[in-house]
Amino acid sequence: MERDLLIRRLEAAEIGRLEPLWRSLLDHIRVMGTVVPVRRHEESWPKRRALYQLWLAEGDSFLLGAFRDNELVGYAMVHVADADPVWVTGERYTELMSLSVAPHERGHGVGTALLDDVEARLLAQGIDELVIGVDTPNTTARRFYEARGFKVGYHLMHGRLGAPGRPAAGRDVAERDVAEGDAAERDAAAPSPSERSDRQAGSPETAAHGDD
């Protein structure tokens, strides 16, 4: 019989316990392959830990841990934000910033239990909107969230400017700027309308019409 799973809220002082799970999440993403390279764990974890601390200090955001026999086997970080300035949301909406499950626990319902608890807590707070980011190659995670009713609503595009094989838009702009600069210099050197009229009055065509 499978051991019972306990889901409870984690305090800011417990963030350090998440490091091994964050490392396994990065490893999982790295193996799948991503459009954007993944940072080394030693660089990534301090940055992520600081963000967790910042979000928890805001008050409404929360961190959940999943335990079996006092072993932390998964966690979920939820960030609560005010109404989005572009999309129509409630006065508060949320984003699932992280969901990580220990490798030996994947496929045993830990992710489902964490997300069930997340949704229950949000509804209890009167919040019914949750945004989740998924890496493009992670089709398993996408199917998991789609099965729960989530839909793809936004694509985040990434590109390396000046990369080999990429359209040379930057050079085109530079060349256009030079051309526009040349045109501006020509305009500055060109005669004013009154000057053009004076010069045209002395031309054969204009003189002939003037004589008429």
Q: Is the dihedral of CA 110, 115, 116, 120 positive or negative?
A: positive
Range with lowest mean pLDDT among 2-11, 51-60, 71-80: 2-11
Cα separation, 74 vs 110, in Å, equals 7
Range with lowest mean pLDDT among 51-65, 107-121, 191-205: 191-205
Find out whether 73 and 16 touch, Cβ atoms under 8 Å: no
Q: What average pLDDT does range 93-115 have in this prediction?
A: 95
- pLDDT one-digit tens code per residue, 124-139: 999 999 999 998 888 8
- pLDDT one-digit tens code per residue, 158-179: 888 887 877 765 555 556 665 6
Please, what is the Cα angle at 49 between 48 and 50, to 5 degrees?
Answer: 90
Q: What is the pLDDT of residue 37?
A: 87
DSSP secondary structure string for all residues of 184-206: HHHHHHSPPHHHHHHHHHTSHHH
When pLDDT is cut at 50, 70 and 90, the band that residue 200 belongs to is very low
